[in-house]
Amino acid sequence: MSELLSKIAECIEFGKINKAAPYPPQMKGQDGADELTRQALDEGIHAQDILSKSLMIGMEKVGIKFRENKVFVPQVLMSAKAMNTAMVHLKPFFLSGEVKQKGKFIIGTVEGDLHDIGKNLVSMMVEGNGWEVIDLGTDVKADQFVAAVKEHENAFVGLSALLTTTMVNMEKITKAIKEAVPGAKVAVGGAPVTNDFCKKIGADAYSPDPQGLVEYLNAQVA
Ligand code: B1M
């Protein structure tokens, strides 16, 4: 069992989607996340074990390598694609409640801002680490965040901004969320955002990269 789970983790780490995929070259012709996840389920390995002992391990390794500039956006996207392929096989177990997720995470790029590449990477990494992600998209206004936080009880919130002109909207969004749902936790990130800015606007956490955010979220439910 552990050998198969290690192989799946490797597929996620290196972005091997399925046997037909030519990427990465060193794994050409080998089974990918698609075939191996199916095989693991057929062999009776519990979906929860596949998630926590292989998919999440692979995703964590990518997150750390990305933070250390050892891999870049394209590699992370391939890993996320491999992860999503594996997740298709696990979806029925999520829906039946057999596989437990760590919690809910609402994310959006703030009002006025249309940049979504970084926000999407964050979403994929958080989802790949066992969280249910509610992605509100781009140009998300305070009332949309508030509605989502009211709908999804105990969800954590993530705000992304890429412009110095839109990061200022994080303050009113954070205030609106906290006014509507006292105790709600808001994390902020994006190229122009800093830890000082996070503190100044009353948000709860800042991370410069997806892995730091994942570590913050995991620590909240540990
Ligand atoms: Co725009 N743009 N852009 N742009 N754009 C920047 C951001 C800019 C720095 C370019 C420049 O001038 N050098 C500049 C901002 C300057 C400033 O504010 N100081 C800029 C500008 C000015 C603009 C327009 C105003 C241009 C114009 O129309 N005159 C316009 C604004 C549109 C709008 O939003 N209203 C605009 C438009 C666009 C495109 C549509 C063309 C396109 C976006 C496409 C898309 O996202 N679908 C675009 C792009 C691609 C860029 C650059 C080139 C790349 C941004 C990106 O995707 N980076 C960018 C210049 C650059 O960075 N080289 C630029 C890759 C991404 C993985 O990184 O988003 O930082 P990033 O996310 C990181 C971290 O920040 C972190 O994790 C991610 C992975 O490490 N992170 C979080 C992000 N969110 C997080 C949340 C967290 C935690 C971590 O917790 C919740």
**Domain ranges in the chain?**
2-96, 104-221
Atom 44 in ligand 1: residue holding the nearest Cα: 115
Instruction: For residues 156 and 186, give the distance between their C-alpha atoms in angstroms, rounded to a whole number.
Output: 6
CATH pick for 2-96 out of 3.40.50.300, 1.10.645.10, 3.30.499.10, 1.10.1240.10: 1.10.1240.10
Helix (H, G, I), strand (E, B) or coil at 175: helix
Atom 87 in ligand 1: residue holding the nearest Cα: 189
Check whether 125 has a pLDDT greater than 60: yes
Atom 80 in ligand 1: residue holding the nearest Cα: 209
- The amino acid occupying position 190 is G
Question: b/e per residue, 65-104, with b = 16+ CB within 10 A?
Answer: bbbeeebeeebbebbbbbbebbbebbeebbeeeebeebbb
Strands (E), the chain: 104-109, 132-135, 156-160, 186-189, 205-206
Predicted confidence at residue 1, as pLDDT, reads 54
Q: 144-156, pLDDT tens digit by residue?
A: 999 999 999 999 9
Instruction: For residues 78 and 80, give the distance between their C-alpha atoms in angstroms, rounded to a whole number.
Output: 5
Within this chain, domains 2-96 and 104-221 share the same CATH topology:
no
**Ligand 1 near 163 CB (within 6 A):** yes
Over residues 210-214, mean pLDDT: 95
Give me ligand 1 centre to Cα 163, in Å: 7
Residue 171, number of CB atoms within 10 A of its CB: 17
Give me ligand 1 centre to Cα 217, in Å: 24
Q: Residue 37's closest CA among 22, 20, 17, 57? A: 17
Q: How many CA atoms lie within 13 A of 216 on its CB side?
A: 20
Question: Which helix (H) or strand (E) element contains residue 104?
Answer: strand 104-109
Per the model's pLDDT, the better-predicted residue between 90 and 203 turns out to be 203
Atom 32 in ligand 1: residue holding the nearest Cα: 114
The helix-helix angle for 73-95 and 2-14 (nearest 10°) equals 130
Over residues 173-188, mean pLDDT: 98
Band (pLDDT 50/70/90 cuts) for residue 52 is confident
Range of lowest pLDDT (76-85, 107-116, 169-178): 76-85
Over residues 177-199, mean pLDDT: 98
Give me ligand 1 centre to Cα 77, in Å: 17
Over residues 184-194, mean pLDDT: 98
Give me ligand 1 centre to Cα 214, in Å: 21
The two tokens of residue 73 are 């956006």
The two tokens of residue 67 are 């933070």
State the chain's mean pLDDT as an integer: 95
CATH architecture of residue range(s) 104-221? 3-Layer(aba) Sandwich (3.40)
Predicted confidence at residue 2, as pLDDT, reads 87
User: Which is the closest atom of ligand 1 to the Cα of 119?
Assistant: 84
Over residues 115-122, mean pLDDT: 93
